[in-house]
Amino acid sequence: MRENARAPAGVAPGGITHPRKAVHMNRDQIKGRAKEAAGTVQQKAGELMGSPTQRAKGLLKRGVGKVQKAIGDARERNREDKQS
């Protein structure tokens, strides 16, 4: 393969193949990560605007997102254990 040529998907430069593991995320994991990200944005916006209320709301939303993501992670581990 030429040095400047792109390798096909799943093949590293040099021709080494990498198996792709399917990534499965359940609804709680996705929503939790989204809430966590939104909370971080809201918290930072509150800091920039000097609004303690917005900062607190962002912290709360971030915490709720972390909990929801943890619940989703536990459900996913349980699902994987049942498949094994």
pLDDT of 25:
85
DSSP 51: -
pLDDT (tens place) for every residue of the chain, 84 residues total? 455 556 555 555 665 665 666 667 899 999 999 999 999 999 999 999 999 999 999 999 999 999 999 999 999 999 888 887
Q: What is the pLDDT of residue 6?
A: 63
Do the Cβ atoms of 35 and 42 come closer than 8 Å? no
H/E stretch holding 50 reads none
DSSP output for 15-43? S-B-PPPPP---HHHHHHHHHHHHHHHHH
Domain parsing of the chain, residue ranges: 27-83
Answer for the pair 62, 35: CB distance below 8 angstroms, yes or no: yes
The reported pLDDT for the residue numbered 1 is 46
Q: What is the pLDDT of residue 14?
A: 60
Q: Return the pLDDT at 22.
A: 63
Q: Are 32 and 26 in contact (CB under 8 A)?
A: no
